[in-house]
Amino acid sequence: MIVTIDGPAGTGKSSVARMLADRLGFEFLNTGAMYRAVAYACLQRQLDLASEQAVGDVAHSLEIFFSNNRLLLGNEDVTEAIRGQEVTQSASIVAANPVVRKRLVELQRIVGQGTNLVTEGRDQGTIVFPNAECKFFLTASPEERARRRQRELLQKGEQISLEELLEQQKLRDLRDETRACSPLKPAPNAVVIDTTQMTLVHVASHLEQLVQQACPAALPR
Ligand code: DC
């Protein structure tokens, strides 16, 4: 059984998807981390991110693994390195590259084969798993999303003004929503949930209930 959670950054997708996967006893897939990993590898190689083929070649050559909630690129643990500001901005450029998307979608479908999975990203319900049993699309106001990002960065010692974060967020949203290949949008049969006024635990409980109502027979015993 596949549960998809899509939506823009700062809607609590990753934390909620992880909590939901734990509660249901499902695997968890963070597909944003995969785009970030490709961006990180391109930055390391000082590639021109606009070069579709060179960036696509990197995506094909990388060995990306998740292990115990860590993201490994070959032998290198890049879990923290991919969360910085430069990778965040670069990931949204790399994510518009159709060669990269094709490769990562292939890998995501392999992860989803024959397993119970909660997967989160931008295109999980629309493109990667169109037949998923349960689809969610999380939203939140731009201000609240930027505040959440500011708190996340502060915890890592990075101080950035809300205005700057809002500007960056606007640019990334625009890129994610208007790219030709798999633009960010809810699947027609996704349940849309506004998380602005909700805690992450509250959102996870709500989704758990909806999954149980929608697919009681499909849940593992
Ligand atoms: O969710 P995130 O911020 O870690 O995602 C990083 C970037 O990757 C972001 O610009 C959106 C993009 N992305 C995507 O295009 N498709 C996905 N399935 C996941 C993320």
The answer to whether position 220 is within a domain reads no
The answer to whether position 114 is within a domain reads yes
Please give the residue range of the domain that contains residue 120.
2-211
184 close to 8: Cβ distance less than 8 angstroms = yes
pLDDT digits (tens, 9 = 90+) for 148-203: 989 988 988 889 999 999 999 998 899 889 988 889 999 999 999 999 999 999 99
Protein residue whose Cα sits closest to atom 13 of ligand 1: 32
Nearest-atom number in ligand 1 for the CA of 104 is: 18
Q: How far is CA 44 from CA 24, 48, 78, 199, in A?
A: 37, 11, 12, 36
Structure tokens that stand for 20 in this block: 């939901």
The answer to whether position 55 is within a domain reads yes
The answer to whether position 25 is within a domain reads yes
- Residue 78's pLDDT is 97
pLDDT digits (tens, 9 = 90+) for 20-61: 999 999 999 999 999 999 999 999 999 999 999 999 999 999
The answer to whether position 195 is within a domain reads yes
In three state form, how does the secondary structure of 63-103 look? Answer: CEEEECCEEEECCEECCCHHHCHHHHHHHHHHCCCHHHHHH
CA 82 to chain centre: 13
The answer to whether position 78 is within a domain reads yes
Confidence class for position 84, pLDDT limits 50, 70, 90: confident
185 close to 126: Cβ distance less than 8 angstroms = yes
Q: What is the domain-level CATH number for residue 9?
A: 3.40.50.300
Confidence class for position 216, pLDDT limits 50, 70, 90: confident
12 Cβ closer than 6 Å to some ligand 1 atom: no
Mutate to test the pocket of ligand 1, among 101, 122, 148, 178 (most ligand atoms within 8 A of CB): 122
182 close to 104: Cβ distance less than 8 angstroms = no
Q: How far is the CA of 4 from the centre of ligand 1 (A)?
A: 14
The answer to whether position 28 is within a domain reads yes
The answer to whether position 117 is within a domain reads yes
Mutate to test the pocket of ligand 1, among 35, 108, 174, 177 (most ligand atoms within 8 A of CB): 35
Nearest-atom number in ligand 1 for the CA of 88 is: 6
Percent of the residues in the chain that have a pLDDT greater than 70, as a whole number: 98
- Residue 217's pLDDT is 74
CA atoms within 13 A on the CB side of 118: 23
95 Cβ closer than 6 Å to some ligand 1 atom: yes
pTM: 0.94
Q: Which residue in the block uniquely carries the two structure tokens 């115990």? A: 68
pLDDT digits (tens, 9 = 90+) for 100-130: 999 999 999 999 999 999 999 999 999 999 9
- Residue 221's pLDDT is 55
Distance between first and last Cα of the chain: 13
